[in-house]
């Protein structure tokens, strides 16, 4: 590891970390590049040595952070064999990860949905990979006879993701937290696994 290389990587990392903080606090459009620079302890111009423009910071941030989360989710799922357990593990890991990365969660919650000029063009591959983790579990469950065959994985993956995402949004935004992560994850898993009807 040459020092230069280390330094460069370091600045890149610092800028991304600063951007996470700043975007989470103000939202993308209310964040100034100069504020990110200040938070990263670099000069304004330095940002442009590592990123093409402000949009590129956000996109790179997504790519890199989503990859980290994807990896963590895959590891969490891999610990189980039973598809139902996998789904529970997914729910728990999702809520845990987003809670311990509250700022990143905020950005994903908000900017992921941004329909701004550039976001419409940007095809968020990592997000689709994430969603497909869910449908894979469901399909596996259907093959193993654990899940109903008439479930549409394409609908279910969105329903499950939406439910979890909204839950974590609630957590991120609310100051007081009534329920623990484990409780919420189990609760939500149970809706999907057992339904809400009384037995």
The interface with DNA within residues 58-77 (CB under 7 A) comprises none
Q: Which stretch binds a second copy (CB under 8 A): 10-18, 49-57, 69-77, 175-183?
A: 175-183
Q: Give, in order, the Cα–Cα distances in Å from 192 to each of 134, 157, 198.
A: 12, 11, 14
Sign of the four-CA dihedral 157, 76, 110, 36: negative
Rounded to whole angstroms, how far apart are CA atoms 99 and 67? 17
How many whole angstroms from its chain centre is CA 112? 9
Q: Kindly tell me the burial class for residue 126, based on how many C-beta atoms sit within 10 Å of its own C-beta (0-12, 13-18, 19 or more).
A: middle
Rounded to whole angstroms, how far apart are CA atoms 49 and 106? 27
Task: State yes or no: residue 117 binds DNA (CB under 7 A).
Answer: no
Task: State yes or no: residue 136 binds a second copy (CB under 8 A).
Answer: no
Please identify, using beta-carbon distances, which residue of 11 and 158 lies nearer to a second copy: 158
Task: State yes or no: residue 166 binds a second copy (CB under 8 A).
Answer: yes
CA dihedral 182, 188, 191, 192 (to 10 degrees): -110
Task: State yes or no: residue 167 binds a second copy (CB under 8 A).
Answer: yes
Task: State yes or no: residue 4 binds a second copy (CB under 8 A).
Answer: no
Task: State yes or no: residue 25 binds DNA (CB under 7 A).
Answer: no
Binding footprint of DNA on the chain (CB under 7 A): 3-5, 7-8, 11, 30-34, 42-49, 53-55
Binding footprint of a second copy on the chain (CB under 8 A): 24, 26-30, 84, 106, 109-110, 113-117, 119, 138, 141, 145-149, 151-152, 154-156, 158-167, 169-170, 173, 178-179, 183-184, 187-188, 190-199
């Amino acid at each position: 590891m040459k020092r230069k290389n280390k330094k460069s990587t370091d600045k890149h990392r610092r800028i991304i970390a600063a951007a996470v903080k700043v975007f989470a606090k103000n939202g993308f459009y209310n964040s100034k590049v100069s504020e990110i620079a200040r938070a990263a302890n670099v000069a304004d111009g330095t940002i442009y040595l590592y990123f093409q423009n402000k949009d590129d910071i956000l996109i790179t941030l997504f790519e890199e952070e989503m990859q980290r989360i994807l990896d963590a989710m895959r590891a969490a799922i891999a610990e189980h064999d039973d598809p139902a357990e996998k789904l529970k593990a997914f729910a728990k890991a999702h809520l845990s990860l987003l809670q311990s990365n509250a700022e990143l969660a905020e950005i994903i919650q908000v900017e992921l949905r941004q329909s701004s000029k550039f976001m419409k063009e940007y095809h968020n591959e990592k997000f689709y990979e994430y969603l497909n983790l869910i449908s894979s579990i469901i399909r596996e469950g259907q093959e193993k006879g654990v899940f109903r065959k008439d479930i549409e994985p394409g609908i279910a993956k969105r329903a499950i993701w939406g439910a979890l995402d909204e839950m974590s949004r609630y957590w991120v935004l609310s100051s007081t937290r009534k329920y623990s992560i484990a409780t919420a994850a189990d609760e939500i898993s149970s809706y999907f696994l057992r339904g809400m009807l009384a037995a």
